[in-house]
Homo-oligomer: A and B are copies of this chain.
Amino acid sequence: MKEIIVRSRAREDMLDITREIQDVIAAERWKKGAVLVFCAHTTAAVTINENADANVCRDMLHGLSRISPRLAEFLHDEGNSDAHIKSSLVGASEIIPVENGALSLGTWQGVWFCEFDGPRRRRVLVQWLGA
């Protein structure tokens, strides 16, 4: 198992980690199977989405905050229950097929770390699953 360190820059942020994952696959010489990308935190997530127009990320973070806003009636005293909900909606992990040592992503797909309660230093685990 390998680890990628991510440093988010705002309370809500998205960071493209596709290159970092591909670098791990190359360094480890993984060839055919799938790679598990796992976020080790409860107020962040990992997702796959467009990596061409940066406005997609802006719209996603805006849309997610509209879907899961900070509600006055939340009981958790850290005040970040909106982020815990976003984490479970978007999900802690993604699994991506790997062929010939490369991520089998669609044309517009990238792998994104999603921060919902930053800025913070975060850990993403990368685990190989052979075919």
Choose from B55, B90, B105 the contact partner of A76 (Cβ within 8 Å).
B55
What's the number of copies of this chain in the assembled complex? Answer: 3
A93 within 8 A of B: yes
Q: A67-B68, A84-B59, A129-B33 are in contact. Are A104 and B1 (CB under 8 A)?
A: yes
Chain B residues contacting A81 (CB-CB under 8 Å) are: 55-56, 59-60, 63
Distance (whole angstroms) from the CB of A8 to the closest CB of chain B: 15
Bitwise interface map of A from 39 to 82 toward B, beta carbon under 8 Å scored 1, else 0: 11110000111100101101110111011100101111110011
Chain B residues contacting A63 (CB-CB under 8 Å) are: 68, 71, 74, 81-82, 85
Give chain A's interface secondary structure class: mixed
A92 within 8 A of B: yes
Query: What 11 new A-B contacts, CB under 8 Å, besides A36-B97, A39-B106, A67-B67?
Result: A34-B127, A38-B96, A41-B109, A53-B77, A55-B76, A55-B77, A58-B76, A62-B71, A62-B74, A66-B71, A91-B91
